[in-house]
A = this chain, B = another copy of it.
Amino acid sequence: MKALEERILSEGKILPGPVLKVSSFLNHQIDPDLVMDLGAEIGRLFKDAGVTKILTIESSGIAIALAAGAALHVPVVFAKKHRTSNVSGAVYQTQVHSYTHNTDYTVVVESQFIKPDDKVLLVDDFLANGKALEGLIELVDQAGAKVVGAGIAIEKGFQDGGAALRERGLRIESLAVIDRMDENGITFR
């Protein structure tokens, strides 16, 4: 998506890792007009997929997931990291490894919010190694529901998460795919 690629080029910062920092418009400060457009595009791409629910992980997935939910008019569920005292009753949960923060965390969804007949669209701001998406897929599996695909803002195409998940049959729509990123700049697929 042109508007997203342009924004990445003008404001993205490449840190060692390589980490792409887009905190000026996507995941610390958010440009609501851009994010609503990203959500609308995800909605357009999945409008015939029979989506009944969107699932993301707090915190940085929430904004784009809400925008996609507003486009598709389906409920948005965000999995919580760590179990909080406000999560009661039966839950689905799994472990996810974060390479960015070099830690494992538990992601939890109250089981009442994913039903066996749900067709779930996964939404997140980033796809890199795919661990977050794998965690969300595991939660949907626990519920006995179906994953219809994943809508992603930015995919790091040079990491193996996207390829491995597509190999498993997952439909992934990434609005910007970065093939290369280093001190010389960013190349999109």
Give the B-binding residues of A (Cβ under 8 A): 15, 19, 21, 23-25, 28-33, 35-36, 58-59, 62-63, 66-67, 69-70, 73-78, 80, 84-88, 100-102, 109-110, 112-113
Contacts and interface: CB of A to CB of B under 8 A. Distances in A.
Chain A residues touching B, majority SS: mixed
Given A58-B58, A62-B59, A66-B63, A77 B30 contact: yes
Contacts of A15: 88
A109 B28 CA distance: 8
Contact of A36 (B30, B63, B70, B85): B70
Residue picked from A19, A28, A84, most chain B C-beta under 10 Å:
A28
Number of copies: 2
B69 A29 contact: no
A113 B77 contact: no
Contacts of A69: 30, 32
